[in-house]
Structure 1
Amino acid sequence: MNDKNYQKILKMSFASVYPHYITKAEKKGRTTQEVNQIIHWLTGYDEKTLQQHLDNKTNFEDFFTQATINPNASKITGVICGYRVEDIEVPLMQQIRYLDILIDELAKGKAMEKILRE
């Protein structure tokens, strides 16, 4: 990924992408609560903190920099946007793509225990 695209993603507000996560999940019969559960698991944010980030239109860089990434996130593997997530060398970009993969797994009907690497 080139640096210009990377910077653009980092500066995008999480709140601008969040509805797309919800729509993707709901189209496949999943719920907002399940999307939030995934976000809580990955970032360590609770409902209140997540809502604050949405209300404040926190950008992706700050959203993930302030998160406490789940230690089991390293178990997330797969290809997203043509990149193997486990090979992404920039930690922040890797964390963003982790969330993309988890939302994809939810939309594909995977069981929550498997998505959350339990």
Structure 2
Amino acid sequence: MVIEYSGIVIRSVLTDKWEKFYDGKGIDGKGIGYYMFHMDDFDVVDATTHGNAARFINHSCEPNCFSRVIHVEGQKHIVIFALRRILHGEELTYDYEFPIEDASNKLPCNCGAKRCRRFLN
């Protein structure tokens, strides 16, 4: 285990409303972006304003970590685990595993991996 992805748990149907709220507060306009991690079809961890350092872990098509939703005493938690030994000073990365989208909604990937898929989704 490397770190737990923490933040506020919200219902997934509310993510659009929260993003509009953040836009109104100028949060995305500052280049910060949103930090929302889908635990499942129902719940999302929003780390935009109340998260920890896990929200800054970047995507890679050849990551050194992976994420899992685990259950502890009936509560869901997102945990980042190492895939291998991580060297001192090495950037932590994991595959965001975004759902596949059509060509008009593709998000470009800039991870720089040798086997980069070119898109996050």
Fold shared, TM-score > 0.5 on shorter chain? no
TM-score when scaled to structure 1? 0.24
Instruction: Specify the structure having the higher radius of gyration (Cα).
Output: 2
Return the structure number with greater strand share: 2
TM-score when scaled to structure 2? 0.24
Return the structure number with greater helix share: 1
